[in-house]
């Protein structure tokens, strides 16, 4: 078995394990902090540190209101063709994206 296949299989096993053990896909506390930091700092590069918008649109609860969570997850994972929004699926699993969307819809702590 080559390395790429091995890696792919390992990812599948991980994904399966994660969803089996944790159907709503809540990342552990350490990973949650990483994802919040990612939202603030790296998403924030285009969307603003407080997600008030920049080159990318604002991502506060009032800005996302009425948008289906699944399609927001899809944008995080696969990006938006025709815009600068890249897909982040190399760094974020589907369940993590779902958790991030949930957090965005509620509003991040300390947001303005």
Partner 1 sequence: MIVERACIAGALILAALSTAHAQLRGTGDLGIVIERATGSVRIVDTSARAQIGRVENLGDLSHASAVYSRGGRYAYVFGRDGGLSKVDLLQARIENRIMQAGNSIGGAISQDGRVVAAQNYVPGGVKLFSAETLELLADIPAVHGSSGERSKVVGLADAPGQRFVFSLFDAGEIWLLDASDPRRPKIEKFPAGLQPYDGLVTPDGRWYIAGLYGEDGFALLDLWHPGKGTRRVLPGYRQGEEKLPVYKMPHLRGWAVAGRRAFVPAIGRHEVLMLDTETWEATGRIAVAGQPVFVVARPDARQVWVSFAFPDNGKVQVIDTETAEVVRTLEPGRAVLHMEFTPRGEAVWISARDDDRVLVYDTATLEAVAQLAADKPSGIFFTVRAGRIGF
Contact positions vs partner 1 (CB under 8 A): 41-42, 44-46, 48-50, 52-55, 79, 82, 84, 86-88, 90-91, 112
CA dist 73 and 93 (Å) reads: 10
Shortest reach from residue 110's CB to partner 1, in Å:
10
Residues in the chain: 112
Quick one: 46 or 75, whose CB is closer to partner 1? 46
The crossing angle, in degrees rounded to 10, of helices 29-37 and 94-106 is 70
Smallest gap from Cβ 48 to partner 1, in A, equals 6
Torsion of CA 43, 74, 108, 95, to 10 degrees: -110
In the bound state with partner 1, the residue whose beta carbon lies nearer, of 48 and 98, is 48
From the CB of 1, what's the least distance to partner 1, in Å?
A: 26
For residue 11 the two structure tokens come to 């990812």
């Amino acid at each position: 078995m080559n390395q790429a296949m091995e890696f792919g299989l390992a990812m599948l096993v991980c994904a399966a394990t994660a969803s089996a053990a944790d159907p709503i896909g809540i990342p552990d506390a350490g990973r949650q902090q990483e994802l919040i930091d990612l939202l603030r700092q790296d998403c924030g590069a285009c969307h603003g540190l407080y997600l008030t918008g920049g080159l990318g649109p604002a991502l506060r609860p009032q800005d996302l209101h009425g948008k289906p969570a699944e399609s927001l997850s899809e944008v995080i994972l696969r990006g938006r063709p025709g815009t600068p929004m890249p897909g982040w699926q190399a760094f974020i699993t589907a369940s993590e994206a779902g958790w991030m969307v949930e957090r965005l819809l509620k509003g991040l702590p300390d947001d303005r």
